Amino acid sequence: MAEYAYSAPLSIDDAVGILEDHANSGRRAQVLAGGTDLIVQMRGTDREPRTIVDIKRLEETNRIDADGDDIYIGAAIASAVLDEHEELKRLLPGLLESAYLIGSTQIQGRATLGGNLCNSSPAADTIPAMIANRGACVIAGPGGRREVPVEDFCTGVGTNVLEAGEFLLGLRFPRPAPGTADAYLRFIPRTEMDIAVAGAGVSVTLDGNGVCTAARVGIGAVAPTPLIVPEAAESLVGTRVDDDALVAAGEACTAASSPISDKRGTVSYRLKVVGVLCRRAGAIARDRVLARGG
Amino acid sequence: MAEAIDLKYIGTRPVRPDGVDKVTGRAQFGADQNLPNMLHGKVLRSPHAHARIRRVDVSGALAMDGVYAAVCGEDFPSEVGGSMLGEGGGDLGDVARNIMARDKVLYHGHAIAAVAASSLEIAERALHAIEVEYEVLPPVLDVLEAMEEDAPLLDENCFTKNLPEKPDKPSNIASVMTLARGNVDEGFEQADLVVEGEYRIPMAHQGYIEPHACTATVNEEGKATVWCCTQGHFDFRAATAKILDCPIGDLKFIASEIGGGFGGKTVLYLEPVAVMLSRQSGRPVKMVMTREEVFRATGPTSGTVCRVKVGAKRDGRITAAKAWMAYEAGAFAGAPMGPGCMSIFAPYDLENFLVVGHDVLVNKPKVAAYRAPGAPQAMHAMEVALDDIARQLGMDPLDLRMKNAADEGTQAPYGPKFPAIGFKACLEAAKEHPNYKAPVPEGAGRGVAAGFWFNVGMQSSAEVRLNEDGTVIVMEGNPDIGGSRASMCLMAAETLGVPYERINAFVGDTESTGFCNVTGGSRTTFATGLAVVRACEDIIGQCKSRVAATWGVDEDQVDWQDGQAVPAPGVNAEVTPMSLADIAASMPKTGGPMLGRASLNAQGAGASFSINFADLRVDRETGKVDVLSFTAVQDAGRAIHPDYVEGQMQGGASQGLGWALNEEYIYDADGVMENAGFLDYRMPVASDLPMIDTHIVEVPNPSHPYGVRGVGETPIVAPLAVAANAVRDATGVRINDLPLSPPRIVAALEGN
Amino acid sequence: MTKMHVQTSINGETVEFLCSPQQTLLEALREIVGRQGTKEGCGTGDCGACSVLIDDRLVCSCLVFAAETQGAEVTTIEGIAGDGGLHPLQEKFLEHAALQCGICTPGFIVAAKSLLDRDPDPDEETIRYWLAGNLCRCTGYDKIIRAVQDAAGELAYQA
């Protein structure tokens, strides 16, 4: 009978080796970052014994680099640690808000961007925000490293592109161009602790005249995977991100969605609210740019 | 009769006696009892909402290494008689079948077998080795569907009770209740306007943070000791004795500290099972539920359908009121339909009314008492209807209620004439409250509603023991669920005339103190408090007698004042007053130790009324509701420890708002609860609520020496309609059903 | 099943224990090393009754593997009161009657301490959001929030 084991490798090669060994011998291994989804699943729906591979002792999963042309956030950085990073807060306020919305203070002390992505829930809060910020997943595996755009990472409810022996090292984001800001909003019935009924992340770049030159929109909890919505971004580009443009972007989000009815919300409700959230998040992103003086 | 008295200790706010242990982690709750050689017990639960049990075989589990006991329904006595006292306990045969299914499983999560093993992990694995064959039956989940003639039957022997004649066919309607006065048809004819509606409220859970837990150990003689978190260890002991068919004297129950109950821990689930497992294994057995088990298998309160029709004259006087109500009982009879029927019109002086209630079986967990059981659902319907009347008449909702308010001498809808009650005082206090006089914030709406609960007395015992140094021990048998030790000490301090700090209160086990019914029905401060006062009076009598002997005077020549014996006025004795400490010090010479006692069946628990109002804001695009302010006004008779009275009012408001806005049991078509965890059973969190303002009205209860009325249950009643009425005020749209969840609000605003 | 050896610091005391790989820190605290002040309300990180600090970071101990605490510093409710007696938070919870049943209280006090260690003067909204992961079913939170506000003032006065 299979048994539980726990391993905390100190190098990427060791981590890949453990994962590969398990894959080759038909044993189950699962990567642990914050554990806020993993441990809940182990207590409930998925009790099968496995080897837990804790990646928190690796240098590259624990690193934040906010000074270069690219911003790098290790896969094991807890939301609470991100929230205390003033430079990141300035550069990617919406992304940090999305991470800091997850669960409670206690959950934020453990939950990570990497875990949120790899759990691959349609309702993951950070994924639409990462999509809006042109995030890329840095993946380590037996064949070395590869990168995948965040919007291409999830393949279905709880599934993703990670192959046997692979794990997520971190997330890479291009440094936001001047005049760029992001925002993320989700809807939950309470003020805290719930899973998103719908979510929308928006990034806009405005020129000196307040005209939008680039935009990205990601949405969540309205399809089997978080989605990038190019049509919504297109409705913003070339405008001053005014009410009409925002309404059009919201309508594009609604049109792109294919939600289900469940205990957290109905189809019609999600279709409506995802549009509202996109519109409101877009306005916040715009106002953030304008507040900085462009 | 409560007279105007100068109170020295009652009404102050000292630190509770058990406080330090509870802020340092020392206090022992249900799951904190461990014994040497202890096993861990787990329960196998039904994966079906409705099925006949063809076969249960626990031998596979028993054969596993580390498994020491395994039981199923047939191991328990088959015939169990009697009923469990209290709100929602019900027939003990049903309780026995609820804690371990026989013949049929009646809800998803129904207990079917249990094991005890050397570790939790082995116990969990052993559950998989138990073989059960089911014949799956169609479940019925909706209360109205369950009442239909061709509905799947939960119990083929269920013939509706309280009908003029026994029906010729079984049904899911366990009983009906009718209350009537006057002639409603004539009353409606006299009305200038009539409002009516159908209001649905789903099942909700008490949501105590501590899961059910117990540890049992049985010796070779069959004598058992059980530690558990319970609202009443004496009632648990009695029920366990009946369920296991053993003498009460074989069972010792020790109440741990209790991590919340709200009625849900007046009924037992694990204790008889743990005793059985310990008997079989010869070792102590500990059982602790998971949160998921708590949701799936322990007492929610009834989901309901209430139809209400109310007629009124243009001046606001109600001419007739009629209600038809159906309560989900869950798997066994015993929904709080009775108190629902009796409470719905209780705040009002009505000439004509008719209430019909139904107790209906559905394939959901057996309901248990939840804070004012049955009243929130029923009174939501009436208070919403009254709001509609006030709106149509252009009348202030408090004025409308005042126009119809019950007062001293009013005959309650359930029979007796009210003695002094505080409903009008609550209405007046609300009207004068600065929060009510303040304008409704821009974009928000205000809701008003009344609340009510009967309160009960029942049996209590207390002992007051005088220590050698003059300090005092109060011993009673009601688990302290929210500060009652402090209230007992305050009443003892007041009666004895000694400082609060010199008194300590303890909750004894079933062998160390006299019988007390459950901590429930808002009875503890009233009834057990009365026993404490009487026990103090007993010891004062003894003190006077000893002092009289010491002074060489007659007993009636000694008075008790400010904690000391003094000569009565006119007595010419050259004596020095003797304090309680002096008397205690002289005990060896004056007759030995002193112990005051009282046992009683308390009568005259005063009804408690409330008025709540709140300002809520609705985001019309998302349906999100924000609670901007909430004010609770309630008659406490006399607030012994005002902090804990306010705490009851604030906690009840929070629970009521949770039920009104987001809490509900969500089922799939197969009868599986989809939100059996705190993530999706959405109780209010700290950031969901504002400060909850309280105003305590004190109209003393004439049946208690200090005027106490129970305060624990009334607070949950009004908030449901308060929220509904505030959302109506904010949006212009009346939504009849709860919860007022965002999708429901958006759908209503869009006209669906 | 092979047990793991873990050495950690609990409230400043070095503690060694054996645990299964899948056992949580909460199980280890309550069932292995006998610190039962930390309570279990849900086991899924939704109620905060099991709140502890690991290296001064507030977490739910039900969502941490015991094995992860190798070499870490764990603070539990038993470590909040100091040599000088109760912590001001504990004093204020008592004074304000900020507990009824008391099962959530250890978690609230650990969580509130973590807040006041970071932000000595939080406003009401900050306190409410910081404590949103700690469920209380008895109090409606009112007296808890007031106790934390008052404790913050007391700590500021002491400082």
Rounded to a whole number of angstroms, the distance between the first and last alpha carbons of chain A is 62
Region class of B616: left (phi > 0), else alpha (psi between -120 and 50), else beta: beta
Contact C63 A40 (CB under 8 A): yes
Residues of B in contact with A276 (CB under 8 A): 621-622
Contact B29 C140 (CB under 8 A): no
Asked whether residue A128 is domain-assigned, the answer is no
**A168 shares its domain with A261:** no
Chain A closest-CA separation from residue C17 CA (Å)? 15
How does pLDDT run across B668-715, given as a tens digit for each residue? 999 999 999 999 999 999 999 999 999 999 999 999 999 999 999 999
| CATH code, A229 | 3.30.390.50
Q: Are A263 and B680 in contact (CB under 8 A)?
A: yes
Contact A110 C114 (CB under 8 A): no
Of A8, A35, A54, the CB nearest to C63: A35
Strands (DSSP E) contained in A96-197 are: 136-141, 144-149, 154-156, 159-160, 167-174, 180-187
Taking alpha carbons only, the member of B321, B308, B317 closest to residue B400 is B317
Nearest-5° angle of CA B1, CA B3, CA B7? 125
Question: Nearest residue on chain A to B664, judged by CA atoms?
Answer: A263
Asked whether residue A10 is domain-assigned, the answer is yes
Q: What is the mean pLDDT of residues B217-236?
A: 97
What type of residue is B416? P
Q: Which residue has the tokens 């057996």?
A: B366
d(CA B578, CA A220): 77
Is any Cβ of chain B less than 8 angstroms from the Cβ of A237? no
Q: What is the mean pLDDT of residues C8-15?
A: 98
Q: Take residue A241 and report the two structure tokens written for it.
A: 């991100």
Residues of C in contact with B651 (CB under 8 A): 100, 137-140
Q: Are C44 and C62 in contact (CB under 8 A)?
A: yes
pLDDT band for position B521 (cuts 50, 70, 90): confident
Nearest-5° angle of CA B434, CA B440, CA B446? 95
> In the prediction, which pLDDT does C12 show?
97
> In the prediction, which pLDDT does B2 show?
42
| CATH code, A12 | 3.30.465.10
Interface mutation vs chain C, best among A32, A105, A192, A195, most C CBs within 10 Å: A105
Residue A278 three-state SS = helix
Q: What is the mean pLDDT of residues B298-303?
A: 96
Alpha carbon B75 to its chain centroid, in Å, reads 32
- The H-assigned helical ranges of B300-374 are 337-343
Of C2, C45, C68, the CB nearest to A106: C45
How does pLDDT run across B534-549, given as a tens digit for each residue? 999 999 999 999 999 9
Host domain of residue A250: 181-289
How does pLDDT run across B147-197, given as a tens digit for each residue? 999 999 999 999 999 999 999 999 999 999 999 999 999 999 999 999 999
**A93 shares its domain with A239:** no
Q: Take residue A246 and report the two structure tokens written for it.
A: 């925002």
Nearest-5° angle of CA B365, CA B366, CA B369? 120
Q: Which helix (DSSP H) or strand (DSSP E) does residue B633 occupy?
A: strand B625-635
Asked if the model's pLDDT at residue B255 lies above 60, the reply is yes
Question: Nearest residue on chain C to B676, judged by CA atoms?
Answer: C42
- B466 strand-pairing partners: B472
Residue ranges of domains in chain B, CATH in brackets:
19-26+458-602 (3.30.365.10), 33-137+210-259+265-297 (3.90.1170.50), 300-455+606-749 (3.30.365.10)
Q: Take residue B38 and report the two structure tokens written for it.
A: 């202890």
Tell me the CA distances in angstroms from B29 to A61, B258, B411, C37, C94, one per residue in order. 40, 6, 44, 9, 18
Residues of C in contact with A78 (CB under 8 A): 57
The phi, psi pair for A138, rounded to 5°, reads: -95, 115
Of B19, B24, B691, the CB nearest to C81: B24
**A157 shares its domain with A266:** no
Residues of B in contact with C51 (CB under 8 A): none
Taking alpha carbons only, the member of A106, B288, A35 closest to residue C47 is A106
Q: Are A41 and A88 in contact (CB under 8 A)?
A: no
For the sheet with A167-174, list strands across it: A64-65, A70-74, A167-174, A136-141, A144-149
Of B25, B262, B679, the CB nearest to C106: B25
Residues of A in contact with B678 (CB under 8 A): 193
Taking alpha carbons only, the member of C134, B181, B273 closest to residue A106 is C134
Asked whether residue A129 is domain-assigned, the answer is no
Contact B682 A194 (CB under 8 A): yes
Residues of C in contact with A4 (CB under 8 A): 1, 20-22
d(CA B86, CA B301): 14
Return the partners of chain A (3 or more C-beta pairs < 8 Å): B, C
Residues of B in contact with C96 (CB under 8 A): 643
**A78 shares its domain with A54:** yes
Q: Take residue B207 and report the two structure tokens written for it.
A: 């949501």
Contact B743 A192 (CB under 8 A): no
Return the partners of chain C (3 or more C-beta pairs < 8 Å): A, B
Annotate B408-452 with DSSP letters as a single string: TTPBPTTSSBP-S--HHHHHHHHHH-HHHHSPPPTTEEEEEEEEE
Q: Take residue A229 and report the two structure tokens written for it.
A: 């919505």
**A157 shares its domain with A193:** no
d(CA C36, CA C34): 6
The CB density around residue B692, as the number of other CB atoms within 10 Å, is: 28
How does pLDDT run across C37-87, given as a tens digit for each residue? 999 999 999 999 999 999 999 999 999 999 999 999 999 999 999 888 999
Q: What is the mean pLDDT of residues B37-44?
A: 98
Residue ranges of domains in chain C, CATH in brackets:
4-79 (3.10.20.30), 88-158 (1.10.150.120)
Q: What is the mean pLDDT of residues A92-113?
A: 96
Of B206, B257, B262, the CB nearest to C102: B257
Asked whether residue A205 is domain-assigned, the answer is yes
**A150 shares its domain with A197:** no
Going by their DSSP bridges, the two strands B51-57 and B131-136 should be labelled as antiparallel
Question: Nearest residue on chain B to C79, judged by CA atoms?
Answer: B24
**A154 shares its domain with A189:** no
Contact A187 B622 (CB under 8 A): yes
Q: Are B309 and B150 in contact (CB under 8 A)?
A: no
Cβ neighbours of residue B129 closer than 8 Å, sequence gap 6 or more: B60, B61, B63, B64
Tell me the CA distances in angstroms from B385 to B197, B275, B390, one per residue in order. 7, 50, 9
- B55 strand-pairing partners: B133
Q: Are C53 and C110 in contact (CB under 8 A)?
A: yes
**A158 shares its domain with A87:** yes
> In the prediction, which pLDDT does B69 show?
98
Question: Whole-model pTM?
Answer: 0.97
Alpha carbon B233 to its chain centroid, in Å, reads 15
Contact B650 C143 (CB under 8 A): yes
> In the prediction, which pLDDT does B266 show?
95
Region class of B455: left (phi > 0), else alpha (psi between -120 and 50), else beta: left
> In the prediction, which pLDDT does B80 show?
84
- The H-assigned helical ranges of A38-92 are 38-43, 79-83, 86-91
How does pLDDT run across B436-489, given as a tens digit for each residue? 999 999 999 999 999 999 999 999 999 999 999 999 999 999 999 999 999 999
Buried b / exposed e along B242-276 (16+ C-beta atoms within 10 A): bbbebeeebbbbbbbbbbbbbbbbbbbbbbbbbbb
Of A8, A40, A110, the CB nearest to C44: A40
pLDDT band for position B89 (cuts 50, 70, 90): low
d(CA A18, CA A29): 8
**A33 shares its domain with A156:** yes
Q: What is the mean pLDDT of residues B723-741?
A: 98
| CB contacts < 8 A (A, B) | 56
Contact A269 B747 (CB under 8 A): yes
Residue B70 three-state SS = strand
Q: Are B285 and B69 in contact (CB under 8 A)?
A: yes
Q: Take residue A90 and report the two structure tokens written for it.
A: 């300035």
Residues of A in contact with B743 (CB under 8 A): 265-266, 269
**A13 shares its domain with A155:** yes
Q: Which helix (DSSP H) or strand (DSSP E) does residue B590 occupy?
A: helix B587-590
The CB density around residue A271, as the number of other CB atoms within 10 Å, is: 18
Interface mutation vs chain A, best among C18, C38, C63, most A CBs within 10 Å: C63
Contact B687 A263 (CB under 8 A): no
Alpha carbon B471 to its chain centroid, in Å, reads 33
Interface mutation vs chain A, best among B42, B288, B292, B621, most A CBs within 10 Å: B621
**A258 shares its domain with A152:** no
Buried b / exposed e along B366-404 (16+ C-beta atoms within 10 A): bbbbbbbbbbbbbbbbbbbbbbbbbbebebebbebbbbb
Is any Cβ of chain C less than 8 angstroms from the Cβ of B22? yes
Q: Are B598 and B538 in contact (CB under 8 A)?
A: yes
ipTM topping 0.85: yes
Contact B686 C132 (CB under 8 A): yes
Taking alpha carbons only, the member of B5, B12, B1, B53 closest to residue B499 is B12
Report DSSP state, residue A290: H
Tell me the CA distances in angstroms from B232 to A184, B267, B270, one per residue in order. 50, 9, 14
Identify the contact set of chain A against chain C, taking CB-CB distances under 8 A. Answer: 3-6, 8, 32, 34-36, 39-40, 42-44, 49, 52, 54, 56, 78, 80, 103-107, 109-110, 191-193
Domain tally for chain A? 2
The CB density around residue B153, as the number of other CB atoms within 10 Å, is: 17
Residue C157 three-state SS = helix
The phi, psi pair for A53, rounded to 5°, reads: -110, 105
Cβ neighbours of residue A101 closer than 8 Å, sequence gap 6 or more: A125, A184, A186
| CB contacts < 8 A (A, C) | 95
Mean pLDDT (chain B, rounded): 96
Asked whether residue A66 is domain-assigned, the answer is yes
d(CA B348, CA B404): 5
Tell me the CA distances in angstroms from B240 to B221, B255, B480, one per residue in order. 17, 14, 22
**A38 shares its domain with A98:** yes
Contact A5 C111 (CB under 8 A): no
Contact A191 B687 (CB under 8 A): yes
Asked whether residue A131 is domain-assigned, the answer is no
The phi, psi pair for B28, rounded to 5°, reads: -95, 115
Asked if the model's pLDDT at residue B573 lies above 90, the reply is no
Residue B677 three-state SS = coil
